[in-house]
Chain A
Amino acid sequence: MLRLPPFTYLQPKSVRQALRMKTDAGANGMYVAGGTDLYPNMKRRHQEPKVVISLAGIRALGRITGGTRGSELSVGAGVTLTELHTHPRVRNGYSALARAAELVSTPVLRNMGTFGGNICLDTRCNYYNQTYEWRKAIDFCMKKDGEICWVAPSSPRCWAVNSSDTAPVTVALGAEFVLVGPDEERLVPAARFFRDDGINYLTKHPHEVLTEVRLPPLDHWDATYWKLRRRGSFDFPVLGVAVWIKWDGGLVADARIVLGAVASYPKEVPEAAQLIIGSELEDDVIEAAAAAAYKPSKPMDNTDFGLAWRKEMTRNYVRGTLQELRTRRKD
């Protein structure tokens, strides 16, 4: 079996304690929640923390509150994906999020994996998610231990993919993240939490703890999430499409279309959303939006399936999500 490298495991009982431990450990310390991303990565020597600080014992991170009568829904970062997608208020009001969470990996992983961990998920690439020996055989890559990007050898940057299922939905819904650091607490809109960089993929400081996700109150909006992958379970997305629409009567008053798994961050395509605002989602409008989303969808050759096909599917998926929302139009 691949073995974990040796490390010290700490179990704080509060966020404050966790922050102190992280400050003490410095760059050698890392947070872990469910560990479904971090531990496999440590086995492959992607991350090599000497001190692992578990957030699993912090009660405060496991709550779901609000979401009734026009209030925001607050979801603790430590809520597991299973809890998230089975929670009645999430299922009823925030079905796109429930759906994204339910589509993550397998039941076993969802029982361990958390919402916060899913949002902070390391970017992925099939030159990177490999054992140390494998990576050694291609002389590593710039994301870890090497110099070059094998996906785009002339590129100065890493194109590893944001492969979280819930991340694009949080951006589409306009969620806000609560980040707590040693000195301050800040509220960051989901869209500004992610960065278009395979290596530095979050704007979060390494010492900050993501404690809570705030989802906007229910108010004549609707949303959905479609995931493309090889198999009906287990697999990361090779394309995700999250769409949020605010209805005004039969018309689209506002919209956001977000593509997952085709870039290092959940990629909003405002040029496509712009086309549907003011429309009733007529067929030709949907077609135009699908075409507009297709253009900036630029997957690279670093996931399952070929990039041309994944790009092509963007059109189908945007069309499909918009058609779904049209049939469910909320007045």
Chain B
Amino acid sequence: MGGAEGGSADRRSGGLVHRSADPANRRTAEPALRVVGTAQRKVDAVAKVTGQTLFADDLFLPRMLYGKLLRSTQPHARILCIDTSKAAALEGVKAIVTGQDLPIPFGILPVSQDEHALCPERVRYIGDPVAAVAAVSEETATQAVELIEVEYEPLTSITSVQQAVATPEPRIHDYGPHGNLHKLINLEFGDVERALAESDYVREDLLFYEGSTHLPMEQHAAVADWSADGKLTLWSATQTPHYVHRALTKVLELPASRIRVIACPNGGGFGGKSDVFNHEIAVAKLAMETGRPVKITLTRDEVFYCHRGRHPTLMWVRTGVTKDGAIKGMHFRSLLDGGGYGSYGVASAYYTGALQTVTYNVERYKFQGARVFTNKAPCGPKRGHGTPQPRYALEIHLDKIAEDLGKDPAELRLKHLVSPDSITANYLRVGSVGLETCIRKVTEGAGWKEKYGKLPYGRGVGLACSSYISGAGLPIYWNAMPQSGVQLKLDRGGGVTVFCGSTEIGQGSDSILAYIVSEVLGVGVEDVHVVTGDTHLTPVDLGSYSSRVTLMTGNAALQAAERAREILARNVAAKLEVPMARLAFADGRVFDTEGPHNGMSFAAAVQLSEAAEGTVGTVGSYTPPDSPGRYRGAGVGPSPAYSYTAAIAEVAVDAASGIVVVPKIWIAHDVGQCINPVAVMGQVEGSVYMGLGEALMEEMAYRPNRNVIQKMPSMLEYKSPTTLEMCDVVTYLIEDPDPNGPFGAKEVGQGPLLPVAPAIANAVYDAVGVRIDEVPITPEKVLKALKKKEKGEEPRYGPHSFPEIPWPEPIRVPPPWEGGDGRAVPAGGAAGGEGGAETGHPAISPAPTAPSVPSPSSPERQH
């Protein structure tokens, strides 16, 4: 696995780094970089490898108790009574809490405050927590939980999206447009029907993307401590300590200033630890009740019940193109199975329609999205949040269109790429676009021209592209403050400490801070100390989600470091009697570039500055630029920068069994600028791995006729690839710097997952001529499609219908090139229109400045 091959590019990282040939594209012309762009060890690597990292479950406090949650055995039921007397009588049990003790609801999105730490009166999926116990040992807590008796009155359970749409009663929640519809979206950018009518060719497809879960190695765990003076500390395996902080404040009715949330290093998150979880609140309550520290570590089953993974999504798409393949209009529908709670679902639903426009020009675009409630574990954000599903649909759809038009799929895509520095039909402002280089790299590397359509029966290649946000433009709750903050403290000894609220989930976010500060201040990476994810010690960063961390904390760190540099430079310049501009910071020294011997150590520079100005510390922060979209729903999709990816998969399909093997994937990712190319490669390969799992086998399966129970909540039976299934990966790192990224950097943590599944599906078609319009692409499905082909039927496996949905009146926003200004046009008195009505909703974006209005074919370049 891994490795790189071919090309004449920069090999410093052991991988391939391709800088855009056009120097005009390198818009952040930097002086020579010492750290950024070079292979560096992660700052936490040694501790992780030697087992010294303390994960949440490794924490043991004096007098600590063990907590355990009792979870619902009913998918949908009213709680008639909970009898805790037997459990309370068990020796060693110190406290039992139920929903009555925690009556205040919470939820990650302000619009979906629909969860309780412990269900007060209703359970909504098997695994929904109803009571919590603290006891002297895990065994006692487990035993106690089994002694709690709950009487349920079962309610009809909703097992599928189709049933949810057709069954308004009983409602799983009493909010949402109606019945079991949680969210309906209808956005139209230009008259799509007319565009389709005027197209040379129109194609329609139906696709389904199955749900999957994150499967981090580390199970969620949290430890709470309630001090005698009424202060709460929570250590947790969380990607979002700031949001946990807010939820604890709300539910426990404690002032935020008396709650401290510490994010422990996460043993993998992938989005699965970015929600606020029941056990985090319950463990805090138990600590408050007992006055003793309490720990809850979830079992693997419980991690499956927490879920918040990929939404199973049914999709319908109709696109009109010219003979040349230019997209005149696209109409996209998605229907998401949300499970039992809101979670991030409203945002997820918007994301299934947001990024269709940022890869290829789409002149007019219409998106209708629906999320429904069902009695399953709640879905939420998983790597790629809401975008792998539509990307799967779109890239297969395009592959089919290319075939219908008799065009090479790579050529077709290359012809219609979105231009850099342009605004899309749905008002996303795109900066650098390295997609063309990505496509060229993978097609050359894979030998696309020699292979596509030419390999022997059973072998095939497929191409797919994608794009992803480098951080959501808007925070989850509306506020005007920065999304990320950094404080720097410079020590007299020459050490620098970076404080930042970001959370290390294995992706390397701690390291990014050290590299950037080291780069700016000229000290060694090992001289920079990183303190992160602690609401007492660190300024807020919203969390490790939406691929926002490198760009946002990186910019904040950059600002703080430049400010510190300024302070030191001022004092050193005065002392050395040289102009500030002539000073360089490198190798732990500050010196005159025109006479390098004339200088001092970094430590001496700090001492000098401290003597002159007092303690040396700075702050930096980052707020993303405003988005040009000003319609309701414009809040999801905008990002400071978009990463781009192209991938080619080669597959071997055994026609006798339908088994698909993927020997190799070539993938090129435009990351803007590598901060650490080795870490970037790691993210690319990890994404390929996860994408491969979703493409071929992962499935969050339920037994609808057996109480809607999860079919296989275990590491053994939930099938995810092992190293043996992992393909060889040839990675090309493309650097098309974006002016909004620190040193030009864009995201890499999620984007490279997106093209994997559609590339494999397209390759399967190239290999054996059947379309698998549904992941996972299991042998069973391939064999069924092959049999249909044999019988002369449509050689395809996939969904056949999309239910009727009572869509609301569309919000109509003319695209920029049709005179639009980012606002909705008032339509027949229908709701929608101006600004944002759903306060606190991520899908609103009151933009104070009017956008520029370029056309898709004549991009406005900003340098």
Contacts and interface: CB of A to CB of B under 8 A. Distances in A.
Are the chains A and B members of one assembly?
A: yes
B130 to A, nearest CB: 12
A231 B657 CA distance: 15
A231 B719 contact: yes
Interface stretch (B83-91, B386-394, B706-714): B706-714
Interface in B285-341: 297, 299-301
Nearest to B73: A137
Nearest to A236: B716
Given A133-B73, A150-B706, A305-B780, A1 B717 contact: no
Interface string A1-18: 111001000000000000
A134 B658 CA distance: 32
A306 B711 CA distance: 13
B709 A230 contact: no
Contact of A137 (B74, B299, B300, B721): B74
Given A136-B73, A138-B709, A3 B142 contact: yes
A133 B71 contact: yes
A231 B724 contact: yes
B697 interface: yes
A137 B703 CA distance: 12
A313 B73 CA distance: 36
Contacts of A2: 299-301
B126 to A, nearest CB: 5
B713 A304 contact: no
Contacts of A324: none
A309 B717 contact: no
B139 interface: yes
A3 B138 contact: yes
Contact of B722 (A234, A306, A313): A234
Contacts of A232: 722, 724-725
Interface string A117-148: 00000000011011111101110000000000
A1 B138 contact: yes
A233 B711 CA distance: 21
A235 B697 CA distance: 13
Nearest to B57: A1
B142 A230 contact: no
Given A230-B697, A234-B722, A134 B301 contact: yes
B724 A134 contact: no
Nearest to B298: A1
B588 interface: no
A235 B780 contact: no
A86 interface: no
A312 interface: yes
B377 to A, nearest CB: 13
Interface in B772-794: 778-780, 783
Interface string B691-713: 00000010000010011011111
Contacts, number: 73
A316 interface: yes
B299 A131 contact: yes
Given A126-B711, A137-B73, A232-B722, A312 B301 contact: no
Given A129-B717, A230-B697, A309-B779, A134 B709 contact: yes
B480 interface: no
Interface in B725-753: 725
Nearest to B138: A3
A233 B721 CA distance: 9
Contacts of A3: 138-139, 142
Interface residues of A, number: 30
Contacts of A316: 656-657
Contacts of B706: 127, 138, 150
B719 A304 contact: yes
Contact of B297 (A1, A134, A231, A312): A1
Contacts of B717: 126, 129, 304
Contacts of A134: 301, 709-710, 713
B704 to A, nearest CB: 12
Interface string B822-863: 000000000000000000000000000000000000000000
Interface in B110-152: 126, 138-139, 142, 146
Contact of A133 (B138, B301, B656, B725): B301
A106 B27 CA distance: 51
A312 B783 contact: yes
Contacts of A138: 703, 706-707, 709
A231 B709 CA distance: 24
Which among B697, B707, B722 has the greatest number of chain A C-beta atoms within 10 A? B722
Contacts of A309: 658, 779-780, 783
A304 B778 CA distance: 12
Contacts of B139: 3, 6
A150 B709 CA distance: 13
B709 A235 contact: no
Contacts of B74: 137
Contacts of A308: 780
Contacts of B712: 126, 304
A3 B143 CA distance: 10
Contacts of B722: 231-234
Contacts of A130: 713-714
A306 B780 contact: yes
B126 A137 contact: yes
A137 B783 contact: no
Nearest to B656: A316
B73 to A, nearest CB: 4
Nearest to B721: A231
B60 to A, nearest CB: 15
A229 B220 CA distance: 30
A149 to B, nearest CB: 12
Interface in A230-276: 230-235
Which among A6, A230, A316 has the greatest number of chain B C-beta atoms within 10 A? A230
Interface in B622-661: 656-658
Nearest to B779: A309
Interface in B642-688: 656-658
Contacts of B778: 305
B583 to A, nearest CB: 56
A46 to B, nearest CB: 14
Contacts of B73: 133, 136-137
A321 to B, nearest CB: 14
Given A234-B722, A306-B780, A137 B707 contact: yes
A3 B299 CA distance: 10
A133 B714 CA distance: 13
A1 B299 contact: yes
A234 B716 contact: yes
Interface string B65-92: 0000001011000000000000000000
Nearest to A43: B299
Contacts of A235: 716, 719
A136 B126 CA distance: 11
B782 to A, nearest CB: 10
Contacts of B707: 137-138
B530 to A, nearest CB: 30
Which among A2, A3, A126, A305 has the greatest number of chain B C-beta atoms within 10 A? A3
Contacts of B713: 130, 134
A231 B698 CA distance: 12
A306 B783 CA distance: 12
Interface in B473-512: none
Contacts of A306: 780
Contacts of A312: 783
Which among A130, A132, A233 has the greatest number of chain B C-beta atoms within 10 A? A130
In the A-B complex, the 4 residue pairs with the smallest Cβ-Cβ separation, listed nearest first, are: A232-B724, A137-B73, A309-B780, A233-B722
Given A235-B719, A309-B783, 14 more contacts: A3-B138, A129-B714, A131-B301, A137-B126, A138-B706, A138-B707, A231-B697, A231-B725, A232-B722, A232-B724, A234-B722, A305-B778, A308-B780, A309-B779
5 contacts: A126-B717, A231-B697, A231-B719, A305-B780, A309-B783
Interface of A: 1-3, 6, 126-127, 129-134, 136-138, 150, 230-235, 304-306, 308-309, 312-313, 316
